[in-house]
Amino acid sequence: MNLPNKLTMFRMCMVPVFLVLLCVPLPMSDTVLRIVTAAVFGSVSLTDMIDGKIARKYNLITDFGKFMDPLADKVLVISAMLGILVKYDYLRPVFVWAAAIVIFREFAVTSVRMICANKSGIVIAAAWLGKVKTTTQMVCIVAVLLEPVILPFQPFTEWHLLSYITIAAMTIMTLWSGIDYLRIYWPHIAATK
């Protein structure tokens, strides 16, 4: 359990804290609550970048880290999306489809990783496209949380323009990276038949 893996486990443990801030009615103004929730989510998300840099710089890359790091990202992002669906009903008609695509992609890629690990002994590390996808997901979640606070103008407070733009970017990157994973690792899956 080296430092990068401890940061990964910290990220997993912070998911319930984030969800309490997002979903439980607390005695704070909406503005303060949105800022605190986004700050917690953003700082926990940054541990993803930090643990990877430490692991590469000090040669602390482990199979546990290769598997758990992306899984921790998935748990954090999926939990945030479900919390957003519960909390922000104005986004629900569009966000539910984006969340469904993200969740399906995450389970599909995790399944591919498990099959490759079990049958071929291959541990699939996160690809650059997967990292871009994760970044767009995290940016989208922060944008949804902070849009009314940082952009108090009609296109953002009434039409939620920033939220919809980041939802679209997140959905496109999620689909693209999912298709890319399946394309690259399909030969390993096909070989296990």
Q: Is the pTM of this model over 0.85?
A: yes
- To the nearest whole number, what is the mean pLDDT of the chain? 88
Specify the CATH number of the domain 3-83+92-190.
1.20.120.1760
Count other Cβ atoms within 10 Å, centred on residue 87: 15
Instruction: Give which of 73, 59, 46 is closest to 137, Cα–Cα.
Output: 73
Taking CA atoms, 72 is separated from 69, 164, 175, in Å, by 5, 25, 20
CA–CA distance, 74 with 57 (Å, rounded to integer): 24
Where along the chain do its domains lie? 3-83+92-190
Q: Read off the pLDDT of residues 92-116 as tens digits, 9 standing for 90 and up.
A: 999 999 999 999 998 888 787 777 7
166: nearest Cα among 180, 145, 185: 145
pLDDT by residue (tens digit) across 118-156?
776 666 656 788 889 989 999 999 999 999 898 777 777
Lowest mean pLDDT among 30-44, 55-69, 86-100, 166-180: 55-69
C-alpha 32/C-alpha 9 separation (Å) is: 27
